[in-house]
Amino acid sequence: SLIPFLGFVLAFWFYSARDNFKPEMLKGKRVIVTGASTGIGEQMAYHLARMGSHILITARTEAKLQKVVERCLELGAASARYVSGTMEDTAFAEHVVKEAETSLGGLDMLILNHVGTSYFGYFNGDVGHVRKLLEINFLSYVAMTVSALPMLKQSEGSIVVVSSMAGKVGFPFTVPYSATKFALDGFFSSLRQEFTIQSINVSITLCILGFIDTESAVRAAADLLLVAPAPRAECALEILRGAALRRRELYYRYGATRLPLLLRDWAAELLDYLVRSRYRLDRLRKS
């Protein structure tokens, strides 16, 4: 019948799309990675270095960025440099893009990955914190996109937005963070529609990540979550793979993200319940 046949076609399409990735796709590409002093951003910088890209990284901590740049050069980056500063400041976000224009002469990929520090716990009513986090996690992404768009149009390049399951479904204990991640989905999904209407050949890949074993995430949540974190180096490679293949959205790991989200529109309360059941609530109250 038709159903197994369609299943076969879908599985073939899925696996062939995966296999079409070649590290050479990113060789010589000019890439900005934000939030690359630690965590997933740092790992993306190392993968890009091995693939022979030109890398411009940014974060606040200069000493860490210096070390990441050194390592990128050892790993084979075509070039590697950094700009340090805070994404609370829109002018700094624009400055990073300007630096790509002057030092790399253009841009092929803009990877927006940084996140400001927030708390893990019940929403404390601090509106100022929500505003500050929106500036770091959302408005700086918008500002960098606007500044980089002329270069990305020219190169027919890519925008990669690192988001979270918490940006697709309501998660408890990360209210301000979730708000900023949902905002990214709204902005970039709308923008993608306009690019399609206007035949602008700049891809937008929204990355929906589950729990990843970065130091900050493990410190904040490992004790409270019943799920094991996935490895950051593999996560970083999956993001680059999805970006190079110009995917619309990227889910990592698939089983912990895409599959539960299939419930969202049909059984939202069941999904809410399943999300809540992944927390050790007794530990949160004590902490």
Interface pick for ligand NDP out of 66, 154, 216, 287 (rule CB under 6 A): 216
Question: Rounded to the nearest whole angstrom, what is the least distance from the CB of residue 100 to ligand NDP in the complex?
Answer: 16
Q: Which residues are catalytic?
A: 177
The stretch among 12-20, 21-29, 56-64, 257-265 that binds ligand NDP (CB under 6 A) is 56-64
Question: Rounded to the nearest whole angstrom, what is the least distance from the CB of residue 74 to ligand NDP in the complex?
Answer: 20
* 116 lies in the binding site for ligand NDP (CB under 6 A): yes
Question: Rounded to the nearest whole angstrom, what is the least distance from the CB of residue 234 to ligand NDP in the complex?
Answer: 13
Residues 133-192 interacting with ligand NDP (rule: CB under 6 A): 136, 162, 164
The stretch among 2-10, 21-29, 113-121, 141-149 that binds ligand NDP (CB under 6 A) is 113-121
* 211 lies in the binding site for ligand NDP (CB under 6 A): yes
Residue 51 or 160 with smaller CB distance to ligand NDP: 160
* 115 lies in the binding site for ligand NDP (CB under 6 A): yes
3-state secondary structure the chain: CHHHHHHHHHHHHHHHHHHCCCHHHHCCCEEEEECCCCHHHHHHHHHHHHCCCEEEEEECCHHHHHHHHHHHHHHCCCEEEEEECCCCCHHHHHHHHHHHHHHHCCCCEEEECCCCCCCCCCCCCCHHHHHHHHHHHHHHHHHHHHHHHHHHHHHCCEEEEEEEHHHCCCCCCCHHHHHHHHHHHHHHHHHHHHHHHCCCCCEEEEEEECCECCHHHHHHHCCCECCCCECHHHHHHHHHHHHHCCCCEEEECHHHHHHHHCCCCCCHHHHHHHHHCCECHHHHHHC
Which residues sit at the interface with ligand NDP, rule CB under 6 A?
A: 35-41, 59-61, 64, 86-88, 113-116, 136, 162, 164, 209, 211-212, 214, 216-217
